[in-house]
């Protein structure tokens, strides 16, 4: 059985040109690599000797296996399957009817997952993401989240802020470039820092507030909202009830924040009622 031998081995930079190849019997091929190994102590030559000394049956068996299952080229990803060969998600009649109902209401059916996720989201954290927030990293680098910039309430989320903070990582020292996890903990006031970031302040009507101050107002407003009958009473009625509670807590000057929270809760409920 004969095999091709490279005069200058490929592992030393040799090519597959005819000038660099010679046809040898496999025993001659094995002997050359054995002599090279004795001179150079190269593991590549020892491997070439072992490969050339394989029995003819093993060589033919390996060739049959490679013909059935071609080896994957190291470092090169296989090409993606054709669109016709890709597995498509099954669309049931219930899903089709659900999407049709959303389109009839003028809603985007592709945001269904977003809506289901926001139902479980903490309303306070979601409310904070709609406001301008100044973040600071421990190295002094700052990032300003602009708050809500569109009419779609689903465009703001803690995940979206986290992605923006991840994009800022390229300005950080290499040993500080870590992804942001659990950002909702500092947005909700559970933690003071998250992956090296902290909130300096939240800006409302040119006034600076901390998360703790917003949380204090929210804990007064949300029970009034939650205990109000459905359909909800007029916005002015709710604000009058909240104003009385703020006066009792000596927070009557924070009615602006309470108004923003009530408007947010109204819009949030309207979005979910539109879906149903």
Read off the pLDDT of residues 11-27 as tens digits, 9 standing for 90 and up: 787 887 888 888 888 77
The residues near 207 (Cβ < 8 Å, ≥ 6 apart) are: none
Confirm whether pTM is higher than 0.75: no
| Res 109 pLDDT > 60 | no
| Res 275 pLDDT > 60 | no
Amino acid 22: pLDDT: 84
| Res 81 pLDDT > 60 | yes
> pLDDT per residue over 205-227, tens digit each?
888 999 999 999 999 999 998 88
Amino acid 75: pLDDT: 53
Amino acid 216: pLDDT: 92
Q: Which range scores top for mean pLDDT: 28-32, 51-55, 105-109, 134-138?
A: 134-138
**How far, in Å, CA of 199 to CA of 184, rounded?**
12
* 92 φ/ψ angles, rounded to the nearest 5 degrees: -85, 170
Cα R_g (the chain), whole angstroms: 34
Amino acid 203: pLDDT: 92
The residues near 271 (Cβ < 8 Å, ≥ 6 apart) are: 115, 118, 153, 154
More confident call, 205 vs 82: 205
| Res 51 pLDDT > 70 | yes
Average of pLDDT values for 135-144? 89
> Exposed, middle or buried: residue 254 (CB in 10 Å: 0-12, 13-18, 19+)?
buried
For the chain, the average pLDDT equals 80
More confident call, 37 vs 73: 37
| Res 89 pLDDT > 60 | no
| Res 100 pLDDT > 90 | no
Peptide bond before 231: cis, by omega within 30 degrees of 0?
yes
Kindly state the greatest CA–CA separation across the chain. 100
For residue 189, what pLDDT band results from cuts at 50, 70 and 90? confident
- β partners of residue 101: none
Give residue for tokens 């094995």. 30
From residue 231, give the alpha-carbon distance in Å to each of 40, 76, 225, 236: 88, 60, 11, 14
More confident call, 52 vs 31: 31
For residue 262, what pLDDT band results from cuts at 50, 70 and 90? very high
Average of pLDDT values for 146-155? 81
Which 8-state DSSP code applies to residue 192? Answer: S
Say whether 156 sits in a helix, a strand or coil: coil
Amino acid 211: pLDDT: 93
Sign of CA dihedral 246, 247, 250, 254: positive
Amino acid 27: pLDDT: 78
The residues near 159 (Cβ < 8 Å, ≥ 6 apart) are: 183
> Exposed, middle or buried: residue 141 (CB in 10 Å: 0-12, 13-18, 19+)?
middle
Distance in Å from the first CA to the final CA of the chain:
75
Amino acid 258: pLDDT: 92
Amino acid 184: pLDDT: 85
Average of pLDDT values for 1-7? 77
């Amino acid at each position: 059985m004969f095999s091709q031998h490279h005069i200058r081995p490929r592992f030393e930079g040799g090519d597959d040109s005819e000038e660099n190849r010679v046809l040898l019997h496999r025993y001659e091929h094995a002997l050359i690599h054995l002599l090279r190994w004795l001179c150079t102590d190269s593991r590549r030559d020892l491997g070439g000797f072992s490969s050339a000394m394989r029995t003819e049956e093993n060589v033919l068996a390996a060739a049959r296996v490679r013909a059935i299952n071609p080896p994957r080229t190291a470092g090169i990803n296989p090409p993606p399957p054709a669109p016709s060969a890709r597995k498509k998600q099954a669309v049931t009649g219930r899903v089709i009817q659900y999407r049709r109902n959303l389109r009839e209401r003028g809603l985007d059916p592709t945001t269904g997952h977003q809506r289901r996720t926001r139902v479980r989201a903490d309303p306070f954290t979601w409310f904070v993401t709609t406001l301008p927030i100044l973040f600071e990293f421990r190295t002094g680098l700052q990032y300003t989240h602009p708050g809500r910039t569109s009419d779609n309430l689903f465009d703001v989320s803690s995940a979206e802020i986290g992605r923006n903070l991840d994009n800022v990582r390229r300005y950080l020292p290499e040993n500080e470039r870590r992804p942001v996890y659990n950002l909702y903990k500092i947005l909700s006031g559970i933690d003071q820092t998250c992956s090296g970031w902290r909130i300096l302040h939240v800006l409302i009507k040119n006034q600076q507030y901390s998360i703790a101050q917003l949380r204090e107002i929210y804990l007064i407003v949300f029970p009034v909202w939650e205990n109000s009958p459905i359909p909800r009473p007029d916005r002015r009625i709710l604000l009058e009830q909240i104003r009385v509670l703020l006066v009792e807590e000596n927070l009557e000057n924070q009615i602006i924040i309470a108004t923003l929270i009530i408007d947010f809760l109204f819009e949030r409920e309207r979005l979910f009622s539109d879906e149903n």
